[in-house]
A and B are shown apart, each in its own frame.
Chain A
């Protein structure tokens, strides 16, 4: 790199991406870079901003003598019993700023529950299934930017957490999952409720621990929270044997962690950032593709500044929804398999693609050889392993999106909007066209049946686009991302990577507990809700005011859609019955409402919002409505299937 422009392009295309990538890996970086990288940096999402400053101040306060003294010792709590491992767990949670966690008791974690009552500062939410607990911790973490915590017992309690842990792994969500295990002497003896859970979670966690000694607990919890929240966030699992929980613990909580093998790179390489600025200056049709990393690093302001300064349209991935206010004139919406046609077209015609904190998932790229065919790609990600994994890129930059953009912005040349007028006008034209076609503004799909896109849009409007919207997985998720209208960062929560049906309700519970100041909606389908419906009871018992919008088409809608479009209408096992949802809700003590026609939508939403507590609205939507456009598997972003319109029968 660093050659003349023409050469640089050739080199990059001929595999220079690989060379350039190497330059950014710790393996071959110069000694000076290595030293710089090894400086221990306590990372909080988006260091530098107001929010981050508040979090950082809070954390620092947590670790001041002042506050540590406020975490009372057993003696100060007036207890004469000796300090055991379970006490160390509670103290560690308090030191890490945990206020609430989601758990389910069982045999081997009873020593923990035995002391938990001595720590009234810790709020325990008793979920109805460990999977719900893991998703709730996930939703809590996404809504607040803090580490979510969930807990289960050994054996089935632990395996039930695995889906939620995997979900957090694929979406880079900081959670700490705690499980109990049988006493150390029984490990490996196939004892009652014993399973090799650290073996199971090994490939779906950022790191995991088996703790057999009470005195290891303080150090391991400090490491676990540090790993979970630092760099690219992710789940950390701690498995505690029963004797570790019960054993006497004299170890103090460490002030710092010593992890020689964990040193994420936060600052982008200055040379790469210079190249980044040069690419922007050269580009005629640049597009920013914003991912989850923008939200994780709290870089939404920097993103907007970059877009405005260089007049670059912004599109985003599914998890990048809410990274930019959708009413911003440069915001062009959601890309990928069910993204907006105009946003996909923008990528396919771009000459520079600026990929920020995203990982080129196959749902975003489609067939890679035809992805962004005209574009040179700048890829910014904090995880070096994401660079060059799915797509070869020209300018790789390893670093925290916020810090990279902060370093970049002064080098970006201000672009006169006039210069981009033709380009942006064309984008606006595509947009007007694509927003019109699949939208059912009357609220009716065919034959007057209720249209799901209309329902989701109305919920967004009713909550003034400020509510946290938590989607489940499937058609409801795509409708939510496309039509709810997001303005506030982190107001959209969705299971992107793992695509976990059943995620919506428990994650909304966690989000609502984490952000009690915000209205929270769970937008779920009838398939997904039946997977974790038991958490309705938790909403009631813990007074969590989640509003549930059930989009009920009596179908596994996305499965049915694929069967219609890809499997020649062979609708095997995609039709499913559900209960009388309003009765079910009421049986749980949740207020239930129903809307079956477009006219009933507004009043049902208003009724649910008026309830002081959880509420469920049963929207009986059209059974055969599909999400369009759709990129068929194995095809590219230019090969979208669009809705074939039929005029409603008179």
Chain B
């Protein structure tokens, strides 16, 4: 906050006098030049189609580290084409920073295509295995919760059970939040995978 209680703004009023001793050109004084990467931070989902070569994951991870992009999740797998792999990255940043991350990924020779699918209609899923403390007294409660979240119980022991949950990151977060009260002994999440709805195919686009 500036001293007069107003939020500092990048938008100078049209009548603002020239702030600089330099001779002012014909038009009015512009606002301070915006610096990329200082906008509102959102969660972004990027899909990268890469060549299935040794070291590609290392190249992607190394690039993100070197340029200070913070990966939240990263899921890598083969595709139906043996020479191509697919990565799904979620990261937080403003639109310009994430666009910069995508452009930097393009500089890697082994990267065929990068797409920010954050605002596209997609199917987004991750899988989580959650080992929860559950005994005769509360097993029923855990099972009810799991059922409500369309999760499956895939292992059962006297003192614990394993819940397999799939869904968006938010859905899995919610279930984990509810199960925490019972005591989570172990938790593993695969990281988000995503696919655009409709007939379009990023892999086919990458082949062109």
Chain B residues with CB under 8 Å of A541's CB are: none
Shortest Cβ gap from A95 to chain B (Å): 21
Within 8 A of B (CB), among A1-50: 13, 15, 17-18, 21-22, 25-27, 31, 34-35, 38
Which residue of B has the minimal Cβ distance to A207?
B109
Interface size for chain B: under 10, 10 to 19, 20 to 34, or 35 or more residues?
35 or more
B154 at the interface (CB under 8 A from A): no
**A to B contact number (C-beta, < 8 Å):** 120
B28-58 interface bits toward A, Cβ cutoff 8 Å, 1 = contact, 0 = none: 0111111110010000000000110011001
A78 at the interface (CB under 8 A from B): no
| CB-CB under 8 A for A390 and B36, given A25-B99, A198-B55, A348-B20 | yes
Chain A residues with CB under 8 Å of B51's CB are: 260-261
Q: Which of B112-120, B164-172, B177-185 is the interface stretch?
A: B112-120
Docked-complex contact B32 and A349, CB < 8 angstroms: no
Within 8 A of A (CB), among B7-30: 19-27, 29-30
A38 to B51, CA, bound (A): 17
Docked-complex contact A392 and B103, CB < 8 angstroms: no
Chain A residues with CB under 8 Å of B25's CB are: 284-285, 349-351, 374
Q: Which of B59-67, B127-135, B139-147, B187-195 is the interface stretch?
A: B59-67
B108 at the interface (CB under 8 A from A): yes
Docked-complex contact B36 and A349, CB < 8 angstroms: no
B75 at the interface (CB under 8 A from A): no
Shortest Cβ gap from A381 to chain B (Å): 11
A366-384 interface bits toward B, Cβ cutoff 8 Å, 1 = contact, 0 = none: 0011111110000000011
B91-118 interface bits toward A, Cβ cutoff 8 Å, 1 = contact, 0 = none: 0000110011011101111111111100
B137 at the interface (CB under 8 A from A): no
Chain B residues with CB under 8 Å of A387's CB are: 103
A388 at the interface (CB under 8 A from B): yes
A203 at the interface (CB under 8 A from B): yes
Which of B25, B58, B112 has the most chain A CB within a 10 Å cutoff? B25
Shortest Cβ gap from A127 to chain B (Å): 29
Chain B residues with CB under 8 Å of A389's CB are: 36, 100
Which residue of B has the minimal Cβ distance to A285?
B25
A260-289 interface bits toward B, Cβ cutoff 8 Å, 1 = contact, 0 = none: 111000000000000000000000110000
| CB-CB under 8 A for A374 and B29, given A25-B102, A202-B59 | yes
A: residues with CB less than 8 A from B are 13, 15, 17-18, 21-22, 25-27, 31, 34-35, 38, 198-199, 202-203, 206-207, 210, 227, 259-262, 284-285, 345, 348-351, 368-374, 383-385, 387-392, 426, 638
8 further A-B contacts with Cβ under 8 Å, apart from A25-B106, A384-B106, A392-B35, are: A26-B113, A27-B102, A260-B207, A348-B20, A374-B24, A384-B103, A391-B36, A392-B36
